[in-house]
């Protein structure tokens, strides 16, 4: 378990948010260090090199954007996840410009935040160690082809063989729009007709229910109207 030893620095001034977030992260197996000011957080980050930093935008001694910028200037290159308040374009863009790797908008769901944390950690540390073992990574999912397993963090997700093949096919073409005919051909080996295409829809729906964080509002496997499907980058 790679994630067990991983240290997450949480810089958040609101105690209620910090406590619940710390509980949620610790439950997922991370070691959480909480600092309630930006300057304390920077000091800790420089001295102890956490694996990931969760940084709130509003802090008593400055904005998260400023501290993000300072961290990068002072040679802290670990992933930073920003907690923003508004769904403002500006906040997102500013955060990413200042060197943040991703952002979550308050109020977020714990699942969503954990998913982002996992994906960031995997991108930063996971892929290197597992790159040869035939593991595909999509968002916070680890798809182990040799074992036929899909994991979200520590949690195993059970898929049928066809769902597994479908996910692998989508993952290999991440970001690309795949038509139902292409999917049928690659996953089932069928020729396409309207009857067969409905099979794709049904399996996509089932797959979503297993791999999406919130199946009612899919964010991983997206339907491209009139064309097909696309796995979000």
Partner 1 sequence: MMFPKSIRWQLPFSYALLALLSTLALGVVLLLMLRSYYTEREITYLNNNADTISQAVQRLFHEDAPLAAIQAQITSYAFLSQVRIQLVDATGAMLADTGVQHGHNLVSISALPPEGASAEQSGISAGNAALYEHEAFRSNYTFRANLEVPISIPIFSQNGESGTADYYTPLIRLDFVRSDGNADDAVTDLEQAQTSRRPSIEEAAESPEFTLVLPASGTLYGFGLGEELSSPDARSGHVAQRLIVNDSGQPMGQLLMSEGPAYGGQIVAQVGRVWVFAGGLAVALAALVGWGVSRRITEPLIMLTSVTSRMATGVLSVRSTLQRNDELGMLASAFNDMARRVEETVVTLRRFVADAAHELHTPITALHTNLELATDDLPPSSARDYVERARAQLKRLENLTDSLLDLSRIEAGVAEDTDKPVALSGIVMEVSELYASRSEQLGINFVLEISEAPVFVRGSAWQLRSVLTNLLDNAIKFTPPGETISLRVRSEGEWVEVQVQDRGIGVPAEELPLIFSRFHRCRNAAAYPGSGLGLAIVKSVIDAHHGQIAVRNTAPGTSFTVMLPASA
Tell me which residues touch partner 1 (CB under 8 A). 14, 16-17, 19-21, 23-24, 27, 58, 85-89, 106-111, 201, 204-205, 208-209, 215-219, 221-226, 230
Residue the block writes with tokens 């308040």: 85
Residue whose CB is less far from partner 1, 74 or 109: 109
Supply the minimum distance, in Å, between the C-beta of residue 224 and partner 1: 6
- CA gap 108, 128 in Å, rounded: 29
Bridge partners (DSSP) of residue 178 are: 229
Supply the minimum distance, in Å, between the C-beta of residue 109 and partner 1: 6
Supply the minimum distance, in Å, between the C-beta of residue 216 and partner 1: 6
Residue among 43, 32, 42 nearest 7 (CA): 32
Residue whose CB is less far from partner 1, 5 or 85: 85
Residue whose CB is less far from partner 1, 152 or 230: 230
Residue whose CB is less far from partner 1, 147 or 205: 205
Supply the minimum distance, in Å, between the C-beta of residue 127 and partner 1: 26
Task: Tell me the two tokens of residue 97.
Answer: 């410009």
Residue whose CB is less far from partner 1, 108 or 125: 108
Task: Tell me the two tokens of residue 144.
Answer: 């182990």
Supply the minimum distance, in Å, between the C-beta of residue 6 and partner 1: 19
Q: Which alpha helices (DSSP H) does the chain contain, by range?
A: 15-27, 38-48, 64-73, 89-97, 110-121, 127-130, 161-172, 180-183, 194-211
Supply the minimum distance, in Å, between the C-beta of residue 75 and partner 1: 30
- CA gap 130, 128 in Å, rounded: 6
Half-sphere exposure of 102 (CA within 13 A, CB side): 21
- CA gap 200, 164 in Å, rounded: 13
CA dihedral of 42, 44, 45, 50, whole degrees rounded to 10: -150
């Amino acid at each position: 378990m790679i994630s067990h030893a991983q240290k997450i620095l949480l810089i958040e001034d609101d105690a209620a948010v910090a406590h619940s977030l710390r509980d949620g992260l610790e439950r997922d197996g991370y070691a959480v260090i909480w600092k309630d000011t930006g300057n304390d957080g920077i000091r800790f980050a420089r001295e102890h090199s956490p694996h990931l930093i969760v940084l709130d935008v509003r802090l008593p001694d400055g904005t998260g954007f400023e501290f993000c910028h300072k961290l990068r200037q002072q040679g802290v290159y670990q992933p930073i996840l920003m907690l923003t308040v508004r769904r403002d374009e500006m906040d997102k863009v500013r955060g990413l410009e200042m060197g943040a790797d991703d952002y979550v908008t308050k109020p977020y769901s714990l699942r969503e935040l954990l998913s982002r944390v996992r994906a960031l950690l995997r991108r930063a540390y996971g892929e290197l160690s597992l790159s040869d073992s035939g593991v595909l990574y999509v968002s916070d999912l680890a798809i182990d082809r040799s074992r036929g397993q899909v994991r979200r963090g520590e949690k195993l997700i059970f898929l049928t063989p066809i769902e597994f093949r479908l996910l692998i096919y989508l993952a290999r073409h991440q970001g690309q729009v795949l038509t139902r005919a292409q999917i049928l051909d690659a996953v089932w080996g069928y020729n396409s007709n309207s009857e067969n295409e409905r099979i794709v829809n049904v399996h996509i729906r089932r797959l979503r229910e297993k791999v999406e964080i919130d199946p009612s509002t899919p964010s991983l496997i997206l339907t491209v109207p009139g064309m097909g499907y696309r796995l979000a980058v």
